[in-house]
Structure 1
């Protein structure tokens, strides 16, 4: 029996030959004509079923004869390197690399691939250790929810396939109790790093995240994200709602405002004039304002600030809008920063490892902006932030600072806020919502190959 070759053109037989064959059959068998068997329609497979069958088939053929089982090899295109040169670094030969390039060129122009692009390959090596390796598969992500794959079929040919996952936009409601810290607790529930940072920064307006937050405190975070069929998050929206203990925030953008802000349930802007601490995560108060035994000098001495123990590199944020007065080395304070704020207030930061981008004398900073990073420079026994506050030139206890809150919505803005609040409350009561999403973003540099 001849081997079936899917690349061979099928034979075409003229209809009158079927008629002649039928007549000959009648003559030979005395007029007895068997009714032809009726083939049943084969049910069409879904994309998921096809993927499962292919996965099983490739798994069965994952170790070609004479080759080792495939190994995952990550490839990153280097500066000045072509795609084929990058492929050669996996151990495959020049002809193999050229064949892979020719296959991928059916989808996009390989000249558009820039340095830094990463993709995954599966490579099998000769069992005897001699000769070139062989490509078994290649996966290249072309967008947040799309990718190209090159796989080897049973006859050795390379097959190109584009895979596009369905993406769902969902509004997530995460509810839990604090265990350890808000950041760690939210991470365990699936909150992304940007959401965790945003929540900590928000609550820092009203709470000291080290002393005011305790184990078993209730919290709820609501935010949007886009998720693929396989459960991979490809995009995260802003925090829509945040609640910790009795502190609640709703996201709302008043008419004419450049960006969204956060308000309490009555429509009061929760942005205070000064945040409680200059750190929003990963710290504890190691020394308070007042007399103490100096850790280096060994005698009782007035400590005119607060110390926050934190890891080197922890971001230090401006607790209020202001202007940088000093950013320099200053004796035992090491790397020192001082910022002037409104109402006669100034803040100082000591033992810094380095300053934030663009931070220098005369530079304006905004509330929540990263202005420096925790370190252990100067007279320091370990990584921590020394924090001071002056009022009209006199040092005061940072823990006792009293600040005023923001404005209250009114008129049309208040009406619109109440409608948005009601919508968010409905989402929370329902435990979230889901709807189809469309993502347009793709990997820079990839465009379809020219046709013709």
Structure 2
């Protein structure tokens, strides 16, 4: 047996070894399990996302006890009506209507509110029995890119918030197919009524929109516009290019000219001397020639063309010229006659009224509204009677040898061809889904064309 020596310290290996082993194991385990935590950077919400969340909040807001889920109610101010009265029409109580008007009045003129102003509200109604509805949210647009929102917080208080979208300028290439109407189809791609009206006037001497356009016909419109983050058009510039059924127009302003004109790919001014139809969306109800008169019953010469259209449909000047007559003329009813030069004149009869300010001696341009369709004089229904005169004699509007437009040459033609190549590059880039070069040398990537819901 070993002798115990009091001068020597005993060796205690086992406890120290357990402690060290445990420490090493904990360290290894911690190293294996621990990973540095990095917080992902959350990008700021866009105005469109904020608006979407707001709408979602309105729709999914917890309704008060005994109330239904909120439903969207459109409110439009009627003539002589106050905002409070309009709010009462949603079914909410008088106290709540006053509170909403008071809250909104902190940032909006609720006194001098005009008839026609629209509000979008989210209303919750009682599930059973009678009682007042409850407003969950209200939105009103205060500008092209701004809106005010009144919403109810969790504690029931009303909260006012202003939302402003960023706007930017871009060149838009709207290309697609016509389904329904050109206006609706182009509107889905960012064009507004002003752009569509320009396109319709350009094609009026080439295309009859009521008969020549069919579903599926392709079109392309190029124009500058101011657009919000959510893709809503605030304003548009001039129409730069238009193409329908293979016919094209390029906008070009020759050096020294006071105005821009539209030319085909070869530099020929494709604006005809006279419009093919001086009224949109009309059908020919009677051609030029001998016919049985619908009132007298006798066969007689019909010295013009009749276009059936609803009362109030705008009538356009067929070409540039000077108004010679704007008066009542027997069986023609309200009558307008325009002198266009070189012996050509046009006449418009049975009008419901003249354009505001129209008078003899006034200069008009092709496509200007000069009057509106009616049924005055010897007429059996609303229509436009249209006549073309040559050196004082009436001629067939469809058979007359009407002069064609001018054609560019020399330096003007070279400048036009450079502009045409620039526009063609915009269209090619859009169709390829790539970046579009702008006039200032920068490149802007256009958003992909939204899907057509009717296709």
Partner Cα separation in structure 2 for residue 327 and residue 307 of structure 1? 19
Between 1:395-404 and 1:122-131, the stretch displaced more is: 122-131
Quickly say closer, same or farther: Cα 1:119–1:268, change in 2 above 3 A.
same
Instruction: Give the structure 1 partner of residue 269 of structure 2.
Output: 269
Unaligned stretches of 5+ residues in structure 2 = 1-33, 437-442, 447-455
Please give the secondary structure, in 1, of the residue aligned with 2:331: helix
Residues 1:315 and 2:302 aligned together:
no
Q: Post-superposition shift, 1:330?
A: 2.8
Unaligned stretches of 5+ residues in structure 1 = 1-36, 438-452
Between 1:46-55 and 1:337-346, the stretch displaced more is: 46-55
Q: Which TM-score applies when normalising by structure 2?
A: 0.72
Quickly say closer, same or farther: Cα 1:201–1:121, change in 2 above 3 A.
same
Quickly say closer, same or farther: Cα 1:375–1:80, change in 2 above 3 A.
closer
Equivalent pairs counted in the alignment come to 399
Q: How does 1:206-221 map to 2 (within 5 A)?
A: 206-207=206-207, 219-221=219-221
Instruction: Give the structure 1 partner of residue 17 of structure 2.
Output: none
Partner Cα separation in structure 2 for residue 241 and residue 264 of structure 1? 10
Instruction: Give the structure 2 partner of residue 13 of structure 1.
Output: none
Partner Cα separation in structure 1 for residue 216 and residue 157 of structure 2? 59
Q: Post-superposition shift, 1:245?
A: 4.3
Residues 1:236 and 2:245 aligned together:
no
Deviations 1:399-425 (A, max 9, x none): 123333444445665444333211110
Partner Cα separation in structure 1 for residue 209 and residue 188 of structure 2? 18
The RMSD of aligned alpha carbons is 4.0
8 Å CA contact 1:173–1:428 kept in 2: the answer is no
Instruction: Give the structure 1 partner of residue 173 of structure 2.
Output: 172
Higher relative contact order (CA 8 A, sep 6+): 1
Instruction: Give the structure 1 partner of residue 376 of structure 2.
Output: 377
Instruction: Give the structure 2 partner of residue 18 of structure 1.
Output: none
Please give the secondary structure, in 2, of the residue aligned with 1:362: coil
Quickly say closer, same or farther: Cα 1:221–1:146, change in 2 above 3 A.
same
Quickly say closer, same or farther: Cα 1:126–1:353, change in 2 above 3 A.
same
Partner Cα separation in structure 2 for residue 180 and residue 187 of structure 1? 11
Quickly say closer, same or farther: Cα 1:181–1:395, change in 2 above 3 A.
farther
Q: Post-superposition shift, 1:221?
A: 2.7
Q: Post-superposition shift, 1:370?
A: 0.9
Q: Which TM-score applies when normalising by structure 1?
A: 0.73
Instruction: Give the structure 2 partner of residue 440 of structure 1.
Output: none
Deviations 1:203-261 (A, max 9, x none): 22345556776787654333344444444333333322112345321012334544432
Partner Cα separation in structure 2 for residue 190 and residue 181 of structure 1? 15
Instruction: Give the structure 2 partner of residue 349 of structure 1.
Output: 348
Instruction: Give the structure 1 partner of residue 426 of structure 2.
Output: 427
Instruction: Give the structure 2 partner of residue 223 of structure 1.
Output: 223
Quickly say closer, same or farther: Cα 1:204–1:92, change in 2 above 3 A.
closer
Instruction: Give the structure 1 partner of residue 398 of structure 2.
Output: 399
Instruction: Give the structure 2 partner of residue 301 of structure 1.
Output: 300
8 Å CA contact 1:323–1:365 kept in 2: the answer is yes
Partner Cα separation in structure 2 for residue 377 and residue 410 of structure 1? 47
Please give the secondary structure, in 1, of the residue aligned with 2:200: helix
8 Å CA contact 1:375–1:384 kept in 2: the answer is yes
8 Å CA contact 1:76–1:115 kept in 2: the answer is no
8 Å CA contact 1:210–1:285 kept in 2: the answer is no
Deviations 1:110-159 (A, max 9, x none): 47854344333333455676665433112121222222212111122333
